[in-house]
Structure 1
Amino acid sequence: MTSDEQISERGPSPFLSGFRLVDVAVGGGVTIRAAVGGNGPPLLLLHGHPQTHATWRKITPALKGHFTVIAADLRGYGDSSKPDGGSQHINYSKRLMAQDQVRLMRILGHDRFAVAGHDRGARVVHRMALDHPDAIARAAVMDIAPTATMYERTDRAFATRYFWWFFLIQPEPLPEKMIGADPEFFLRRHLAAQVKTRGVIDDAIFAEYLRCYSDPATRHAICEDYRAAATIDLVHDAEDAGSRITAPLLALWGGRGTVGELYDVIETWRPKAVRVEGRALECGHMLQEEMPDETAAELLAFFTAHQS
């Protein structure tokens, strides 16, 4: 297929002002939904759980004047494809999730780009920067420590506050069926545990997240994402234990969230990257939702200072 045949236009984005939605066939039967807008060097934005690309709606107005912004749904999330998990949950390995996004960018005409990820999307960014160093000009990870580090340092405080790391990895169909009994309740409680700023998840965006979370295929894909993180992703991390991210890396985190309170975040990234900088923002887990102006300013300062 040519690039034109791989891209299907879906009209304007209802959440990202001035952006158009596209579905892009990236291979292997997988289609990635993305919102595209702005002008300038390419910048890919990757969301986390339980969000979609709409989580970036508050910061894209500041970014689109400086970058061509591509905000994508990860495979399994939003309106992207939701393939079967495969043997050892391989189809939700961060390796394949990263490969999707690199192919997306190439099909859209961007062989080299900046990337920022939050939560699960940041874990995809970590793998992407290791597997595709020539494609990544600079990278930002938001409110995570490395996956292997977090599992290695698991204690009662972490297991209690991030219980879903251990619930969602249970064998199919236990978590799928339990969440499916009342998806709205689970989603509300999950968001409430993560957000430290009242009122930032308004009715419209919650309805969008719930629309996606109400799909059994999405819930299964989310569980597969977490199952992969506890299995095949750790294998890949161990194989690359001596490798480091070579692109300049920015780490941002919420000082009032679990990651910020339980980890020295910069210290966890120093063994993983040649060059890392960053700081905490005075919020919970969802920086782009809770402190959008400050988050956008940090991303702009970092990406424009290191343009290459």
Structure 2
Amino acid sequence: MTTDFLPGFDRHRIETAPGVTIHARSGGSGPPVLLLHGHPQTLSTWHHVAPRLAESRTIVAMDLRGYGDSDKPPGGERHAAYAKRAMAADAVAVMRALGHDRFALVGHDRGGRVAHRLALDHSERVERLALFDIAPTATMYARTDKAFATRYFWWFFFIQPHPLPERLIGADPEYFLRHHIEGQSKTPGSTPPDLFAEYLRCYSDPACRHAICEDYRAAAGIDLEHDAADSDARITAPLLALWGAQGTVGQTYDVLETWREKATDVSGRALDCGHTLQEERPEEVFSELSAFLG
């Protein structure tokens, strides 16, 4: 029996595109906030933060397409089904279906990249934007060096042609997942056994592993083209950037400066942790979001 990490939150299955149904949870009341997870997590990563935020806000957490209990459609030509533009459209459709035309947006890791694209493509819908432990995708690829490529090797492994990464990960998904999470997190115990089991439940699905690779393949191709096409565009919503001081992004980039190249109103700081802020430093994350969201 799996653990319910968001007890009391309603469950939703929302069709966002032909053949694509997204799994979401919602709870609380007040101004709406959408939470988007990263790789290799699911919406359960918000189990510390979402209930606290729901005391004064309407919180929606969704599994990105390809992840968790959302559908895992074929990537199609040029992996376009996993372009951040398509994933951002899912998020807009979920919020619209739940009655929210304008909302605050919080994204960690891959969810942050979806949130970045959403804030550009649907700027009228985003009141405020918080991004956790990322620099812009195009910036990270453009400034790749040996240190980054070594520490974030999966950015270059996952994008190899199908089925190479899928078959290699499939040989021992639990080992790969555990190695990945333990390497990213710098706070022992922040992903407890029942939460790891939830992530493994999803990662054990070959369709999920393939979708994850498609997500990264899109990021290295069609997403970069979309970014180049609107390289002069700026996010106009207030942007809060938080990152882990012990993580690769924080140690490799001037995070605030990278986002000031992409947005007009940027603030933020490092937290004393690794990559998964909402699991490693949930009290600080809650405090920062409460102040930022108002």
TM-score, length-scaled by structure 1: 0.94
Residue 207 (structure 1) aligned to one of 194, 197, 211: 197
TM alignment of 1:42-191, pairs within 5 A? 42-191=32-181
Deviation at 1:147, TM superposition (A): 0.2
Distance 1:21 1:288 in 2: 21
Q: Does 1:264 align with 2:227?
A: no
Moved over 3 A (4+): none
Q: Deviations over 1:118-169 (max 9, x none)?
A: 0000000000000001111111110000000000000010000000000000
Deviation at 1:88, TM superposition (A): 0.5
Distance 1:215 1:266 in 2: 37
Q: Does 1:295 align with 2:282?
A: no
Unaligned runs of 5+ in 2: none
TM alignment of 1:6-21, pairs within 5 A? 14-21=4-11
Aligned to 1:24: 14
Deviation at 1:114, TM superposition (A): 0.4
Distance 1:291 1:235 in 2: 35
Residue 134 of structure 1 aligns to a residue in which SS?
A: helix
Distance 2:261 2:13 in 1: 37
Distance 2:281 2:11 in 1: 25
Deviation at 1:272, TM superposition (A): 0.3
Aligned to 1:241: 231
Residue 45 of structure 2 aligns to a residue in which SS?
A: helix
Aligned to 2:265: 275
Letter in 1 for 2:230: D
Distance 1:165 1:222 in 2: 11
Residue 23 (structure 2) aligned to one of 30, 33, 40: 33
Count of residue pairs the alignment pairs up:
293
Distance 1:259 1:83 in 2: 30
Report the RMSD for the aligned CA atoms in angstroms: 1.0
Unaligned runs of 5+ in 1: 1-12
Q: Deviations over 1:189-237 (max 9, x none)?
A: 0001100000111110000000000000000000000000000000000
Distance 1:35 1:229 in 2: 26
Residue 208 (structure 2) aligned to one of 212, 218, 237: 218
**Identity, % of aligned positions:** 65
Aligned to 1:5: none
Deviation at 1:294, TM superposition (A): 0.3
Deviation at 1:18, TM superposition (A): 2.0
Q: Does 1:192 align with 2:182?
A: yes
Distance 2:264 2:159 in 1: 32
Distance 1:28 1:125 in 2: 22
Distance 1:214 1:271 in 2: 39
Residue 255 (structure 1) aligned to one of 240, 245, 259: 245
Letter in 2 for 1:167: F
Aligned to 1:7: none
